[in-house]
Amino acid sequence: MRIAIGVSYDGRGFEGWQSQPSGKTVQDHLEAALGQIAAAPLRVNGAGRTDSGVHALGQVAHFDCDASRPASAWVRGANALLPGAIGVQWAMPISDEFNARFSAIARRYVYLLYVHPVRPSVLAGKAGWYHAPLDLDAMRGAAAMLVGKHDFSAFRSSQCQAKTPVRNLTRCVIHAQGPYLIFEITADAFLHHMVRNLVGCLLYIGKGAHPAAWIGQVLAGRDRKQAAPTICADGLYLAEVRYEDRWKLPEFPRMMPQLDLS
């Protein structure tokens, strides 16, 4: 039997999503908790492999097991065993044809940036921070240049294992909410550190280090060394993984009001 689950987590304190020998990843904790409910070892496969410190509002995963349990057992039972920073939001049986990673048609990330002279104490670890005013118009102009199907080699990390650097970026917009800027980026898939590198370049444009047109030059140059440094993971959230309607996956609760962009 295949079960699909929706997962949210605060990425601080975990070594990313993907299982590690230390056992301190989100995947490791989920497999341990769900394995206890199933009374057998199991493997949890996620839609996206978020890095250490990156959060998720809408991670989707699946696992296979022989145990027959009600959906409430996979949710409440697992949450009773998981660290408080990880929560299974829903669970449902699903066709074996469904794959959390390969059935996904798009992923949406958001990056929350606090722009204020004083660091964000209440949202420490939950938001990036820049201390001075930024040129929002220039940043938005640069963001628009990134939309489309491109070779994003200039925005991938040296550890990226993707077979191709080509991605189709369908949305890249910046919302302003008081002292916050919210970068909303959607693509068919992402390269390692791609979102954080894109936001880092947009930040450089916003602070006046480069004109908006510079990001087009970086994109065309395909050289990571020509781009800005990678921004911190604090403000990055996997907000949504999109699938075809035929899978009828449940909706996630809205847990971060300032990131409610609907």
Catalytic residue ranges: 51
Task: Note the pLDDT tens digit of each residue in 2-43.
Answer: 999 999 999 999 999 999 999 999 999 999 999 999 999 999
Mean pLDDT along residues 191-210: 97
Per-residue pLDDT tens over the stretch 110-145? 999 999 999 999 999 999 999 999 999 999 999 999
Does residue 253 form part of some domain? Answer: no
Separation CA 210–CA 219 (nearest Å): 14
Mean pLDDT, the chain, integer: 96
Q: 122 with 166, same domain? A: yes
Is 144 found in the same domain as 78? no
Q: Which residue has the tokens 């989920």?
A: 30
Q: Which DSSP string corresponds to 3-16? A: EEEEEEE--TTS--
Shared domain check, 222 and 116 = yes
Mean pLDDT within 254-258:
78
Amino acid 108: pLDDT:
97
CA atoms within 13 A on the CB side of 51: 18
| pLDDT score of 98 more than 80 | yes
Residue 129 forms beta bridges with which residues?
Answer: 114
Pick the last residue of a domain from 103, 119, 140. 103
pLDDT at 255: 84
Q: Are residues 94 and 116 in the same domain?
A: no
Q: What is the pTM of this model?
A: 0.96
| pLDDT attached to residue 257 | 73
Residues 181, 124 within the same domain: yes
Summarize the confidence of residues 84-102 as an average pLDDT.
Answer: 97
User: With 90 as the cut, is the pLDDT of residue 91 above it?
Assistant: yes
Q: Is residue 27 located within the same domain as residue 116?
A: no
Does residue 75 sit within a domain? yes
**Is pLDDT at 262 greater than 70 in this prediction?**
no
Q: Is there a single domain that holds both residue 47 and residue 113?
A: no
- Pair 44, 141 in one domain: no
The domain in which residue 37 lies consists of: 2-103
- Look at residue 180 and tell me if it is in a domain: yes
Cβ-based neighbours of 79, under 8 Å, separated by 6 or more: 33, 87, 88
Range list of H helices, the chain: 26-38, 71-72, 78-81, 136-145, 194-206, 214-221
Torsion of CA 43, 237, 166, 162, to 10 degrees: -30
Does 109 score more than 70 pLDDT?
yes
Work out the average pLDDT over 66-72: 92
For residue 256, pLDDT beyond 90: no
Q: Within a domain: residue 27?
A: yes
Does residue 246 sit within a domain? no
Domain limit, last residue, from 103, 131, 148? 103
Identify whether 130 is part of a domain.
yes
Long-range pairs, 130-135, Cβ under 8 A, ≥24: 130/203, 130/206, 130/207, 132/207, 134/181, 134/203, 134/206, 134/207, 135/205, 135/206, 135/207, 135/208
Q: Is residue 221 part of a domain?
A: yes
- The domain boundary residue, chosen from 103, 136, 152: 103
Look at residue 81 in the predicted model and tell me its pLDDT: 98
* CB contact at 8 A, 167 and 188: yes
CA distance 226 to 180: 27
- CATH code of the domain containing 153: 3.30.70.660
Q: Find the CATH number of the domain harbouring 6.
A: 3.30.70.580
Determine, yes or no, domain membership for 257: no
Q: How confident is the model at residue 64, as a pLDDT?
A: 97
Co-location of 221 and 207 in the same domain: yes
Question: pLDDT, tens digit, for every residue of 146-176?
Answer: 999 999 999 999 889 899 999 999 999 999 9
Same domain, 97 and 158: no
Q: Which two tokens stand for residue 246?
A: 């035929």
Query: What's the number of domains the chain is made of?
Result: 2
